Amino acid sequence: MEETIKFQLNGKKTEATIDPTQTLLWVLRNHFGLTGTKFGCGMGSCGACTVLIDNEPVRSCQLSVGDVAGKNVVTIEGLATNGKLHPVQKAFAEHDALQCGFCTPGMIMNATGLLLKNPLPTTQEIMDGMENNLCRCAAHLRIVEAVQTASKEMKGGK
């Protein structure tokens, strides 16, 4: 049965009248047309579907949309402000930290959540924080470098 779920999406109050058991990933992509969030494994294993919920990186394939009622959801489409890339997006571009790009939105959202919690992570902390996001193109080294650069630019977190 459908319900109206209200939440904040990329900085705006929003609502969807929808089956609350649908996954957040499905709703973002198919109801809101936000296809930046990717369907990889659908099983919580790859991280391609990562979004921020109340600043925490969460796998949107593992969450029902009903669970985000009243929460603040940010997707890759909501990171840039006033046409200016977020420091993590900018650093990924500068370091060419991608190949096919399929894992990239999830990587960027996970890295953003990591830097919000720990603005000056060590290399090991970056590797540990990113290791459960999978990149089949093996861009991991450049991804770690990008997160280091973003950390310097964010200095203290934004």
Binding site for ligand FES (CB under 6 A): 39-42, 44-49, 59, 61, 98-104, 135-137, 139
Q: Rounded to the nearest whole angstrom, what is the least distance from the CB of residue 157 to ligand FES in the complex?
A: 25
Q: Which is nearer to ligand FES, 104 or 151 (CB)?
A: 104
Q: Quick one: 140 or 158, whose CB is closer to ligand FES?
A: 140
Closer residue to ligand FES, CB minimum distance, 44 or 119? 44
Min dist. Cβ of residue 130 to ligand FES (A): 11
In 3D, which of 19, 44, 43, 41 has the Cα closest to residue 30?
19
If we measure between CA atoms, which residue out of 87, 106, 98, 89 comes closest to residue 152? Answer: 87
* CA–CA dist 90, 80 (Å, integer): 10
Question: What gap in Å lies between CA 65 and CA 124, rounded to an integer?
Answer: 34
Question: Nearer to ligand FES by C-beta: 44 or 66?
Answer: 44
Smallest gap, in angstroms, from Cβ of residue 101 to ligand FES?
5
Smallest gap from Cβ 148 to ligand FES, in A, equals 18
Nearer to ligand FES (CB atom), residue 76 or residue 98 = 98
Closest approach of Cβ 78 to ligand FES, in Å? 18
Q: Quick check: 98 and 139 in contact, CB under 8 A? A: yes
* Cβ 74 vs Cβ 106: under 8 Å: no
Collect all residues with Cβ–Cβ distance below 8 Å to 118 and sequence separation of at least 6.
125, 129
As a whole number of angstroms, the distance between CA 127 and CA 146 comes to 12
